[in-house]
């Protein structure tokens, strides 16, 4: 993959599904999930069909897919306002350290602000120091005042 000084980020559409699905599958594998190309494609297709997320795609100047980020709309009861959850951010290994992650974060922030959101929120693994360094360099603040809990539910 060539250098990316001219990388561009744009909002993806369902017509980008063939380019996004392999990135999404690689993202899931990064977090130790089994590869599932068809499941990844189906998941993204459903998000597009039901307008349940906003996805930004980073492309090289030659048009190759380099990374993506996915936002889910939500709300803050305490702020009585819209927020977005930046749930996924992935950059291909060969495109890392070339500002692609920064471009994706900036696109997400711009979109959320234009949509009237008061906050973007994200979480990452405790040992993902590379991602943490990127977030902090881009002005994100680590939440110190709350613990996050999950309750695993069995699908019906």
Count the domains in the chain. Answer: 1
Crossing angle, helix 17-30 and helix 37-49, to 10 degrees?
A: 120
The pTM of the full predicted model, rounded to 2 decimals, is 0.91
Alpha-carbon distance 100 to 8, whole Å? 9
Q: What ranges make up the beta strands (E) of 26-80? A: 54-59, 65-76
Strand, helix or coil at 84?
A: strand
Encode the chain (156 residues) as per-residue pLDDT tens digits: 334 456 799 999 999 999 999 999 999 999 999 999 999 999 999 999 999 999 999 999 888 999 999 999 999 999 999 999 999 999 999 999 899 999 999 999 999 999 999 999 999 999 999 999 999 999 999 999 988 899 989 988
Question: Which residues form the domain of 91?
Answer: 8-137
Q: Is residue 17 part of a domain?
A: yes
Q: Is residue 147 part of a domain?
A: no
Q: Is residue 96 part of a domain?
A: yes
Residue 67 CB contacts under 8 Å (≥ 6 apart), including other chains: 23, 57, 58, 89, 90, 91, 92, 95, 100, 101, 104
């Amino acid at each position: 993959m060539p250098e990316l000084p001219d990388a561009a980020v744009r909002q993806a559409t369902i017509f980008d599904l063939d380019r996004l699905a392999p990135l999404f599958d690689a993202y899931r594998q990064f977090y130790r999930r089994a590869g599932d190309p068809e499941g990844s494609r189906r998941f993204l297709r459903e998000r597009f069909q039901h307008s349940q997320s906003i996805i930004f795609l980073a492309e090289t100047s030659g048009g190759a897919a380099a990374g993506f980020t996915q936002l889910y709309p939500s709300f803050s009861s305490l702020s009585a306002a819209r927020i977005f959850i930046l749930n996924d951010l992935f950059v291909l290994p060969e495109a890392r350290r070339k500002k692609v992650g920064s471009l994706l974060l900036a696109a997400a922030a711009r979109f959320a602000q234009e949509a009237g959101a008061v906050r973007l929120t994200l979480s990452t693994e405790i040992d993902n120091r590379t991602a943490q360094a990127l977030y902090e360099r881009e002005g994100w603040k680590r939440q110190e005042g709350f613990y996050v809990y999950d309750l695993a539910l069995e699908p019906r």
